[in-house]
Amino acid sequence: MKNYSNLDNVTSYKSFKELRKWQRERKKKVKDLTINIEQYPLKMVREIKENKSRTSYTWVGHSTFLIQLNGINILTDPVWAKRMGLEKRLTEPGISLEDLPEIDVVVISHGHYDHLDFPTLKKLKGNPQYLVPAGLTSLFNRKGYSDVTELNWWENLEYGGITFHFVPAQHWTRRSLTDMNTSHWGGWIVQSPQETLYFVGDTGYFSGFKQIGERFTSIDTVFMPIGAFEPEWFMAPAHISPEDSVKAFIELKAKSFVPMHYGTYRLADDTGPEALERLHREWEKQQLPQEQLKVLLLGETVI
């Protein structure tokens, strides 16, 4: 069975000793978990269902977006789960599963449970085409899904006039005791003649951002993770900090930054408000235009 690895042979493996060190550190930290990301007050459910031509994206929560492009409905890493391990979901999804339109394409960044939730997939409307990292097809087949295409880094596939490119990320994956890194991980460039979107997936900061920026020279919107970075000595190889996410955005030379992967599940020690505060601080430090930073509330739609 093939095992996958990162660029530059960076590993995310942590020893049991390091895990225990993090657990001891965590007990000493006092965090305010009462402030959560708010719901957008004016949900555009009807407009989303009727939209057949305009480009739009809606943040559901965590790494889940509904993207509408060229009349195609795309979902990224769909997860509506109420729990993640022992932790309860902190916020309700921005849109209910019942309010989604029929889905044409689902893109999966990697196999971790907070990015690949089969109970959610069972409830999706339509008959979506699943685009997944190399090594995941057999799992989908076992779960009863046959309309699955797996891609390696830099491979692409066309669907409905849109080209989906699977690009590198720096991460790892595991769903059981025996399948460590037996499937790949990455991000997705979603490209139409009018628009280029980059769903980064789950990643640490790495040299791949420069490579992606060189290959795709006109990225309109980047959906960038900013959370689950603390403690950084433990998380940095796999989860990018808000400061490094801004650095990556600059290297990509993209037009808009949409933060994600924060405030929905408590996967590390940082909180959603802390991640946003550090993001805003770094944005100002780098003197980037405020209109390029698009911080969404849950269920907010940008058309």
How do strand 87-88 and strand 83-84 relate by DSSP bridges? antiparallel
25 in a domain, yes or no? no
- Averaged over successive runs of 10 residues, the pLDDT of the chain (303 residues) comes to 92 88 90 92 95 96 98 98 94 97 98 98 97 98 97 98 98 94 98 97 98 97 98 96 98 98 96 97 98 98 96
- pLDDT for the residue 86: 86
243 in a domain, yes or no? yes
178 in a domain, yes or no? yes
Contact (CB, 8 A) for 69 and 197: yes
Helix axes 272-285, 242-252, angle to 10 degrees: 50
pLDDT digit string (tens) for 257-267?
999 999 999 99
- pLDDT for the residue 146: 95
- pLDDT for the residue 30: 86
pLDDT digit string (tens) for 3-26?
999 999 899 878 889 999 999 998
Q: How far is CA 49 from CA 54, 132, 301, in A?
A: 12, 25, 12
Contact (CB, 8 A) for 71 and 159: no
Domain count, the chain: 1
96 in a domain, yes or no? yes
- pLDDT for the residue 97: 97
Which residue stretches of the chain are H helix? 16-28, 45-50, 118-122, 137-142, 208-215, 232-235, 242-252, 272-285
54 in a domain, yes or no? yes
- pLDDT for the residue 13: 79
Tell me the CATH number at 207: 3.60.15.10
- pLDDT for the residue 103: 98
- pLDDT for the residue 28: 87
Determine the Cα–Cα distance for residues 68 and 296; give it in Å rounded to an integer: 16
The pTM (predicted TM-score) of the whole model is 0.97
Determine the Cα–Cα distance for residues 75 and 67; give it in Å rounded to an integer: 6
10 in a domain, yes or no? no
Edge to edge, the sheet with strand 56-61 lists: 148-151, 129-133, 105-107, 72-76, 64-69, 56-61, 301-302
**Residue 236 C-alpha from the chain's centroid:** 16
pLDDT digit string (tens) for 236-273?
999 999 999 999 999 999 999 999 999 999 999 999 99
Residue 92: which domain range?
45-302
33 in a domain, yes or no? no
80 in a domain, yes or no? yes
Cα separation of the two ends of the chain: 44
